[in-house]
Amino acid sequence: MIAALAAKHDAWDHDRYGPLDDLMDRYQAWLPVRAADPRSVFLVAGHDDRRLSGFLVGEAMANIPIYAVREYGFIHDLWVDPKSRGQGIGRSLTRAALDRFRGMGIEQVRLETALANDAARRLFGACGFRIATIDMLVTLGNSGSCTPEGDI
C-alpha cells in the first residue's frame, strides 16, 4: 500500500512527491514509531479474511509560535486499496482519526492532498475539512523568473 501511495503521488506531481530510493526502508522505520507514539494516530482497516484494505497515519504537530493554534493534528497518509474503495473505509478511517485527535485535546486537524486528487477532497470535505491554503511550488532549475503580470 505504501508503494502504491507513493507511485500515485509521484505520477500526479513528481517535482512535489518524487520518492527517495529507500522510501520503503524509511516507512519501515517511521511507522512503528507512529504506532507506539501516544500523540500519533495509526489506523488500519481490514477484511474478514485478514487482508488489509486501508490505513491512515497522522500525528500531533507543534505550530509555529505566532498563531493561536499551538498544536494541530496532521494526517500524513490515507490509503484505501482500490478493490476496497466505495465501501466507506476512507470515511471510517478519517472519522476514527478525528476522534483520536479530539481525545488528545487537539482542536484542529490538517492535511495536504494532491491537486489531482478530487476524490480525496470530496471525502475530506464530507468529513468537515475545508480548503485553508493553496500550496504553490516552483522548481528553480526549470523556471523561477517573475513576470510583470505577477505584481500585486
For 42, residues 6+ apart whose C-beta sits below 8 A from its C-beta are 31, 34, 35, 55, 56, 57
Task: Per-residue pLDDT tens, the chain, 152 aa: give them.
Answer: 999 999 999 999 999 999 999 999 999 999 999 999 999 999 999 877 778 899 999 999 999 999 999 999 999 999 999 999 999 999 999 999 999 999 999 999 999 999 999 999 999 999 999 999 999 998 887 666 777 776 66
pLDDT for the residue 18: 93
Q: Is the pTM of this model over 0.85?
A: yes
Residue at 62: amino acid letter:
A
- What is the SS3 assignment for 144? coil
Homologous superfamily of 2-150: Gcn5-related N-acetyltransferase (GNAT) (3.40.630.30)
pLDDT for the residue 48: 75
Q: Which helix (H) or strand (E) holds 43?
A: strand 40-46
pLDDT for the residue 142: 64
Q: Please, are residues 83 and 24 in contact by the beta-carbon 8 Å criterion?
A: no
